[in-house]
Structure 1
C-alpha cells in the first residue's frame, strides 16, 4: 500500500506507518503528567505529533534519529494539522527494508550540479596558495562526502541534505558580484571564506539518521572546528605548493571563519575586521535569513491567510499577500 502524503492528511484521518523522529521533547502538563512533542518525518515530508500521558519508560525507549511505528489520528490545532499518537514502538528500518536516507529532506537542486558549481568557483581562483588549500579539502573524499551531505543547520536555514553545499554555492555566487562592485575586496580570499566559513559543520552536525549536534559540535562548535580543520590541511598544502603557506593569508582565513557570525552575542569571538570578513558576514546573513523567510512563507500551513504564523524567534509575522495567478490564468482568449 503506497504511503499517503502528509500534506494530504485531513482532520480525522487515521495513520499507521513508520516515521523517523526528527526531534523529541519531553514536557509536563499542568497536572504534572508527562507528554511528548515530536517532529516526525517520512519520505513525503514532516509533521508535528503529540503523545499524551506517557510513562517515563516509554519516553526513554527512543531518541531523535530513531524510527517509530506509529498509530495516530490527524487533528487540526493552532492553524496546522498534527498527529495525536495512540501507540508507538521503536523499530529497525533495515528489518523493514527501509532506507533511512529516504526519510531525510534533500536539497531542491542536484548535489552533482551544486558540487560542479563549487569546483568551478574554486578552479577560478588565481592565488596559487588559496587554490592549493582548497585542493587539499577537495582531494579528501571522506570530507567531500560529508560536506556535500550535511545540512547548514538543524532547524533553521538549509536544514536538509546538501543544505550546506547549497548555502556555500549561493554565497559564492553573491561573492562574485561583490568582487566586481568592490575591486578593493580580494575576490579570491572572499570565495575561499565562503567555502570554509562553515566547514566545521561537517564535524558539528550528524546527518546519517536525522540532523543533530555531535558531542564535538556541542562542546567546541563549528567556528573553532573550522580553524582546526584548516590547520590540519597545512602540511598537505605545503607539499602541494613546495613552500610554506603565507602566514598573513592564513591569519585572514582564520579571522573570516571566527568572525563570520558578525557579533559577539551571536557566537563570534571576534568582530569582522577586514573587508573580506565584513563582506563574508553580510553574505552569510543575506543568504541564510532570506532563505529562512522564503521557506517560512512557502511552507506556511495556513494557505488561506495572507500572513504567516507569528514567529517568536523573529518577533514577527511575514506578509504573504495574495497568491500569484496560475500559469495562463487571467489571459485573454485571442482565438
Structure 2
C-alpha cells in the first residue's frame, strides 16, 4: 500500500496511516468539552491532528515519541491542513519503517560528518586544533550529533538537524571570511562548530523531542560554555598545554552571545567581530529554514501567501521559495 506522507496529503483525504507523535495536549473548546491536539510527523513534515470529545484518560494511553496508526479525514483550517482524527492505536516501533520518519538517511549523515571534519581540519592554530580534536574524537558526542535536532518545532527540528545547521553555518562562514581581513577565520570556524553543541544536553531526542531537566534549568548556551570549560581543563591535564585564557574566553563569549540580544536569551551581546558574524549567520540560517518549512507546509492553493505565523510574526509569500526565472 502506498504510504500517505504528510507532504502529499490534500484537503478531504481519508487517512489511514502511521505517524509519530511530536507533541500532544488536552484542550477545552468554547463549550468546555475536552479534546486532544496532536502534532504528528513523518520525514516529510508535521501536521496537527484533532481528536474531539477526548480527555485525560485517552491522553494517557500513549506518549510523545510513540507511533500511532491514525484514521481520519483532512481539512483546511486558516490555510493549514489538519487531520480530524476519528480513531487511533499505538504501533510498536518494530512495526514501522525508520526511514519514513527521518529526513536524513544514515549515508547522508556520514557524508555531512566527513565534510564537517574536513572543514574543521583546516584549522592550523595549535590551541584551537586541540579544542576541535577534543570534540570530534569524542565518539559519544559524535553519536549524539548524528541524531540530534537543532530545535523542537521550527528550527531544523528533525534527526540530524543540528549537524546540518552547524555545517550550513560553516559553509556560510567560509564564504564570508575572505571579505573581512580583520576577521579571525579559524576562531570563527571553531566558534560556529561549538555554538550549539550544548543542545546535545539541552534536548531529549531518543524518544519524543523535548527539553531535558538540565536543559530547562540551564539552557544550551550555559551548558555549552560549561562543557567547553570542562574540556579545556581536560586538555591541559592530558597535554600539559593549557588553553590560553583569551582564546577560551573568546570561544565562550561566542557561545554565550550567539542569540545576539539579551531579550533573545543571550547573557551577553556580541563584543568581538567573530561573535557578531556568528550571531547574524545563526539567525539567518534559522529564519530561512523556518520560513521555508512554513511555506512548504502551507496547503492553501487559493493564495500565494501562507497563513500568519505567530512564531515568525508575519505571513510569507510562497513563490519566494522558488528560484526566480526569466530575464
Is the structural similarity TM-score above 0.5? yes
| 8 Å Cα contact 1:16/1:70 also seen in 2 | yes
Q: Which structure is higher in RCO with an 8 Å CA cutoff and minimum separation 6?
A: 2
Specify which structure has the higher proportion of helix: 2
| 8 Å Cα contact 1:306/1:322 also seen in 2 | no
Query: Any idea what SS the aligned residue of 2:271 has?
Result: coil
Superposition map of 1:227-238 within 5 A: 227-238=225-236
Distance 1:275 1:326 in 2: 33
1:90 corresponding residue in structure 2 = 90
1:69 corresponding residue in structure 2 = 69
Specify every segment of 5 or more residues in structure 1 that has no aligned partner in the other structure, as ranges: 331-335
CA deviation map 1:214-242 (0-9, x unaligned): 12211211011101111221244235644
Distance 2:102 2:322 in 1: 30
Shift of the 289–80 alpha-carbon distance from structure 1 to 2, 3 Å rule, reads: closer
The 10-residue stretch of structure 1 (301-310 or 185-194) with the greater mean CA deviation from structure 2 = 301-310
Matched, 1:106 2:117: no
Please state how far the C-alpha of 1:101 moved relative to its aligned partner. Answer: 6.1
CA deviation map 1:13-66 (0-9, x unaligned): 333333211111221011111111111124554322101111321122223212
Superposition map of 1:135-150 within 5 A: 135-150=133-148
Please state how far the C-alpha of 1:100 moved relative to its aligned partner. Answer: 4.9
Query: Any idea what SS the aligned residue of 1:273 has?
Result: coil
Distance 1:313 1:81 in 2: 18
Answer with 1 or 2: which has the greater Rg. Answer: 1
The 10-residue stretch of structure 1 (223-232 or 76-85) with the greater mean CA deviation from structure 2 = 76-85
2:195 corresponding residue in structure 1 = 197
Query: Any idea what SS the aligned residue of 1:110 has?
Result: helix
Query: Any idea what SS the aligned residue of 1:147 has?
Result: helix
Matched, 1:39 2:46: no
The 10-residue stretch of structure 1 (147-156 or 304-313) with the greater mean CA deviation from structure 2 = 304-313
2:170 corresponding residue in structure 1 = 172
Distance 1:273 1:17 in 2: 51
| 8 Å Cα contact 1:107/1:163 also seen in 2 | no
Shift of the 173–240 alpha-carbon distance from structure 1 to 2, 3 Å rule, reads: farther
Shift of the 82–175 alpha-carbon distance from structure 1 to 2, 3 Å rule, reads: same
Shift of the 321–92 alpha-carbon distance from structure 1 to 2, 3 Å rule, reads: closer
Please state how far the C-alpha of 1:130 moved relative to its aligned partner. Answer: 0.5
Q: RMSD across aligned C-alpha pairs, in angstroms?
A: 2.6
Please state how far the C-alpha of 1:251 moved relative to its aligned partner. Answer: 0.8
CA deviation map 1:65-92 (0-9, x unaligned): 1222322222333323321112223342
Please state how far the C-alpha of 1:212 moved relative to its aligned partner. Answer: 1.7
Distance 2:238 2:265 in 1: 34
| 8 Å Cα contact 1:107/1:166 also seen in 2 | no
Query: Any idea what SS the aligned residue of 1:151 has?
Result: coil
Shift of the 303–10 alpha-carbon distance from structure 1 to 2, 3 Å rule, reads: closer
CA deviation map 1:130-157 (0-9, x unaligned): 1111101111111001113211111112
Shift of the 31–158 alpha-carbon distance from structure 1 to 2, 3 Å rule, reads: same
* TM-score, normalisation: structure 2: 0.90
CA deviation map 1:170-200 (0-9, x unaligned): 1112212332111111111111110000010
Distance 2:64 2:10 in 1: 26
Distance 1:325 1:235 in 2: 48
The 10-residue stretch of structure 1 (220-229 or 97-106) with the greater mean CA deviation from structure 2 = 97-106
1:58 corresponding residue in structure 2 = 58
2:257 corresponding residue in structure 1 = 259
